[in-house]
Amino acid sequence: MERKTLAIVGCGKLASIIADALNANLLPEYQLIATYSRSIEKAQNIANKVNNESQKDSPCKACNSLEELLASEANYIIEAASPDSMRTLALPALKNGSSIVTLSIGAFADEEFYEEVKRTALANNARVHLVSGAIGGFDVMRTAALMGNCTATFDTEKGPNSLKRYSVYDESLQTEKRKVFEGNAKEAIALFPNSVNVSVAASLASVGPEKMKVSVTSTPGYIGDNHRIEVKNEQVHAVIDVYSSTAQIAGWSVVNTLRNIVSPIVF
């Protein structure tokens, strides 16, 4: 069997789940050929994971630059880095004919960029797969939106420590429950660039980034994330409520998407 080739950009916690899945033979139709991250050590770590186990005979290369990774012309590039990195790699990857499986869907809050990505993918016979990540239910969101007159809200609850790197943080959040953000999905991803990709993903599946009403609530001592999405039209009221104690579900959703891509039965 000719295996499909994979490359990973962003070699952190979620990339590691994908390498483990390759080693566990959950992705037998794929071979990892290239990795790239801000530091070569991290790219090497992920390459070593598979080179020491499932890919002893077909080693993966740790790349020193994004250009080197793109030159590998992998069938699928998995983006597990950041919305900024997705912005940098999407168009050149698609022009090379590589499809993309992305976690940093927040990059698509920029409508112009989203449209350019769509055009480029079509022109190069490539596709962009938005993974369900830490949420799910894209099917019901898209269906309810198709029916017309749809509204949607996205409410997230997090612990204060996960907000420490953002401007909304202050020490009082350690003892006081507070709504730290209310706005639309475009504003949310601008404020929390690595933490609310899911709100942009849900908005693209329903009402769009400007119409998706988003709130972020900080709760003292809260472990993990709870994302509650409500989509309504005249006939439908759908609630998708996903709690996860870690972000690992997002890495597993990439594995699930890759399995779907090659499956005779597609969910």
Ligand X SMILES: NC(=O)C1=CN([C@@H]2O[C@H](COP(=O)(O)OP(=O)(O)OC[C@H]3O[C@@H](n4cnc5c(N)ncnc54)[C@H](O)[C@@H]3O)[C@@H](O)[C@H]2O)C=CC1
Select the residue interacting with ligand OAA from 11, 86, 198, 205 (CB under 6 A): 198
- Fill in the per-residue mask, 134 to 163: x = in contact with ligand OAA (CB under 6 A), - = not in contact: x-----------------------------
Partner whose binding site includes residue 12, from ligand X, ligand OAA, none (CB under 5 to 8 Å by kind): ligand X
13 is an interface residue for ligand X by CB under 6 A: yes
- Where does residue 146 rank: exposed (0-12), middle (13-18), buried (19+ CB within 10 A)? exposed
DSSP 8-class letter at 20: H
215 is an interface residue for ligand OAA by CB under 6 A: no
Distance CA 151, CA 156 (A): 17
Partner whose binding site includes residue 225, from ligand X, ligand OAA, none (CB under 5 to 8 Å by kind): ligand OAA
Alpha helices (H) in the chain, listed in sequence order: 13-23, 40-51, 66-71, 83-95, 111-123, 138-146, 185-191, 197-204, 248-261
Contacts of range 234-240, beta carbons closer than 8 Å, 24 or more positions apart: 234/147, 234/148, 234/149, 235/147, 236/140, 236/143, 236/144, 236/147, 238/137, 238/140, 238/141, 238/144, 240/135, 240/136, 240/137, 240/140, 240/141, 240/202
Select the residue interacting with ligand OAA from 16, 31, 55, 195 (CB under 6 A): 195
Q: What's the token pair of residue 52?
A: 């020491």
Select the residue interacting with ligand OAA from 55, 197, 203, 218 (CB under 6 A): 197
DSSP 8-class letter at 194: T
Partner whose binding site includes residue 13, from ligand X, ligand OAA, none (CB under 5 to 8 Å by kind): ligand X
Q: Which residues are catalytic?
A: 227
- Fill in the per-residue mask, 72 to 101: x = in contact with ligand X (CB under 6 A), - = not in contact: --------xxxxxx----------------
User: Quick count: other Cβ atoms within 10 Å of Cβ 253?
Assistant: 20
11 is an interface residue for ligand X by CB under 6 A: yes
> 109 among the known binding-site residues?
no
Q: How far is the CB of 193 from ligand X (least distance, A)?
A: 7
Torsions phi, psi for 155 (to 5 deg) = -120, 125
Q: How far is the CB of 92 from ligand OAA (least distance, A)?
A: 23
Residue for token digits 């709100």? 199
Q: How far is the CB of 203 from ligand OAA (least distance, A)?
A: 12
Determine the length of the chain: 267
Q: How far is the CB of 147 from ligand X (least distance, A)?
A: 25
- Fill in the per-residue mask, 33 to 72: x = in contact with ligand X (CB under 6 A), - = not in contact: ----xx---x------------------------------
Residues making contact with ligand X (CB under 6 A): 9-15, 37-38, 42, 80-85, 103-105, 133-134, 194, 197-198, 201, 247, 250
Annotated binding site for NAD(+): 134, 197
Residues making contact with ligand OAA (CB under 6 A): 133-134, 194-198, 225, 247, 250
